[in-house]
Amino acid sequence: MKIAYLILAHKSSIQLTRLINTLNCEDVYFFIHINKNSSDEFFYEINNTFKTYKNVFFIDRCRCAWGDFGIVEATIEGIKTIIISNINIDYIVLLSGQDYPVKSNKRIKEFFTTNNGKCFINNFPIPRAGWHNGFLDGFHNSIPPESEYKLPSNISLWGGSAWWCLTRECIYYIYYFIIKNPGYIEYCKHLFAPDEIFFHTIVMNLGIKSNVINDGLKYMDWDSVPSPATLCKKYFSTLSNSTSLFARKFDIEYDYEILDMIDKNLLKN
């Protein structure tokens, strides 16, 4: 079971280094995107830290800001880099630099081996009333006017959490869809928070719904304000009982002890 972690990061070289080293094991590869809005010093520090690692690759940098298309662009660049690498990857896992595993590498691999061929992505048809990302009652004011930008024919919009775990075959389908449908990119550039729509819509219109599990395999607390909550020691029991493989978001400057607790108690088996 070969896993590629596609990591979108924008701060904290210490935390990103810890994430990579924690997940690093046999048949695991890392494709790292450092936000172009982040300092060059941050990029060079990470690049220098992992320059001798044969399984760490860096993606061309894009400018990313919450709610805009840059995050999608960075992810597409990551997918392209993974495909060009010609590594026979089984699963691609999209993470942020503030994520962390809550299951050991052994259990992560066992999970994907048992569920090989399944695609894990939170999804629902949109518009959807009460959706947290801003597509609420004003949803139809947030999509491009049909006269200017149109979806490809027979395509319906889907949304969900931005984070997913997809098979190599699904990633190839996504990449070829993008190449064949440049108008879809133009359409999504005019959406709010397109990272919560772009990939979901493609996956859910591929005709592979029977292989799609409505779960991104990542624990997040959306009930706090602001959300998602920054996870701290009080979440340890919840994380211990979670069926998710990963969790977000963590901030090593806010609470590093929760990461130590996870290392000591959850990642040893």
Tell whether the torsion through CA atoms of 140, 8, 205 and 82 is positive or negative.
positive
Per-residue confidence at 119, pLDDT binned at 50, 70, 90?
very high
Mean pLDDT across 79-94:
97
Secondary structure of residue 114 in the 3-state scheme: helix
pLDDT of residue 124: 92
Residue 151 forms part of a structural domain: yes
Residue 258 forms part of a structural domain: no
Phi and psi, residue 5, nearest 5°: -95, 115
- In this structure, are residues 93 and 5 in contact, taking their beta carbons and an 8 Å threshold? yes
pLDDT of residue 137: 39
Residue 99 forms part of a structural domain: yes
Q: pLDDT higher for 94 or 142?
A: 94
Domain of residue 192, CATH code: 3.90.550
Q: Give the span between the Cα atoms of 179 and 49, in whole angstroms.
A: 34
Q: Give the span between the Cα atoms of 21 and 95, in whole angstroms.
A: 14
pLDDT of residue 155: 86
H/E stretch holding 111: helix 105-114
Tokens (6 digits) for 180: 């064949």
pLDDT at position 145 over 70: no
pLDDT in tens, 218-240: 999 988 777 789 999 999 999 99
Q: Give the span between the Cα atoms of 229 and 59, in whole angstroms.
A: 28
Alpha helices (H) along 105-158:
105-114
Residue 269 forms part of a structural domain: no
Residue 243 forms part of a structural domain: no
Residue 85 forms part of a structural domain: yes
Q: pLDDT higher for 154 or 86?
A: 86
pLDDT at position 13 over 70: yes
pLDDT in tens, 151-166: 777 888 899 999 999 9
Structure-token match 């959850």, residue found: 266
pTM of whole model > 0.85? yes
> Which among 79, 141, 119, 110 has a CA at the least distance from the CA of 206?
119
For residue 100, the enclosing domain spans 3-218
pLDDT of residue 80: 97
- In this structure, are residues 122 and 33 in contact, taking their beta carbons and an 8 Å threshold? no
Residue 257 forms part of a structural domain: no
Q: How many domains does one find in the chain?
A: 1
Q: Give the span between the Cα atoms of 5 and 33, in whole angstroms.
A: 11
Tokens (6 digits) for 191: 């959406």
Q: pLDDT higher for 154 or 56?
A: 56
Kindly report the average pLDDT of the chain as a whole number: 91
Residue 138 forms part of a structural domain: yes
